[in-house]
Amino acid sequence: KDRDFCLVSETNLHINGHFIGKSKKQGLKRDFTWVQSIGVQFDSHKLYLGANKVAKWDDARDELSLLLDDQPIVLPPGRGVDWESASAPGLKISRLQDANSVTVEVAENFVITARVVPITAEESRIHKYEITEDDCFAHLELNFKFFALSPQVTGVLGQTYSAGFKSPVKVGVAMPIMGGEDKFAASDLFAADCKVARFAGRAIESVAGHNFPEVACGSGSAAGRGIVCRK
């Protein structure tokens, strides 16, 4: 918890995630963690998507923060509303709901669907998260679709697209863990300084005609397993 890790690193795309959570309990090997925000770098731009800190959750109140190159993006209210950037050609953001749910697209590079959700009292009770009334741990549920990856792509998620990847996760255990902290830890949400970073702010020669599968990442609360990502 309270750390940043590289999710995807390619020569013209770098995505870090900031994790929030609860300290591990006695007998557990890791913290309970959720992705509070992501920092997306492409071309010469920096895009921030983050869930605000919230005490009491209200579905009607928008708790999603968006910034482009450190400047707030103000999305008009209303499902289906689109916003297009004048400074970052090809960047489009669309509301999927009246609040807390958007798609972010950079043409020929990626589409990210982001939804802000809380940890509910019932989830906390079932999984013993011990969420208190001062913070419902609002976090992001994410969907990724990529259009320009090379066989050398890396990052916690990106490595799963690389040539010859074999997952180290033992899916049969109660709390499967990907690992790789030493390779993927970053010093900041927008720092491309993890050991395996490839970001250079320029286009790559991707795998032509390859249909990259989508990845969905959420709290995995139904199974009580923290962050779970599935293709």
Domain ranges of the chain: 3-183
Model confidence band, residue 5 (pLDDT cutoffs 50, 70, 90): very high
pLDDT tens digits, 58-81: 999 999 999 999 999 999 889 999
- % pLDDT > 90, the chain: 58
Pairwise CA distance, residues 138 & 41, whole Å: 23
Query: What stretches of the chain show up as alpha helix (H) in DSSP?
Result: 121-127, 181-184
Query: In this structure, what is the dihedral angle of CA atoms 193, 6, 153, 171, given to the nearest 10 degrees?
Result: 140
pLDDT tens digits, 19-35: 998 776 655 666 788 99
pLDDT tens digits, 125-151: 888 888 888 999 999 999 999 998 888
Residue 105, pLDDT > 60, answer yes
Pairwise CA distance, residues 135 & 120, whole Å: 11
Query: In this structure, what is the dihedral angle of CA atoms 124, 187, 203, 44, given to the nearest 10 degrees?
Result: 100
Q: Read off the pLDDT of each residue in 163-185 and give the average, rounded to a whole number.
A: 68
86 Cβ partners below 8 Å, 6+ apart? none
Residue 226, pLDDT > 60, answer no
Query: In this structure, what is the dihedral angle of CA atoms 110, 147, 229, 37, given to the nearest 10 degrees?
Result: -20
Residue 50, pLDDT > 90, answer yes
3-state helix, strand, coil in the chain (%, to 5): 5, 35, 60
The reported pTM is: 0.85
More confident residue, 229 or 116: 116
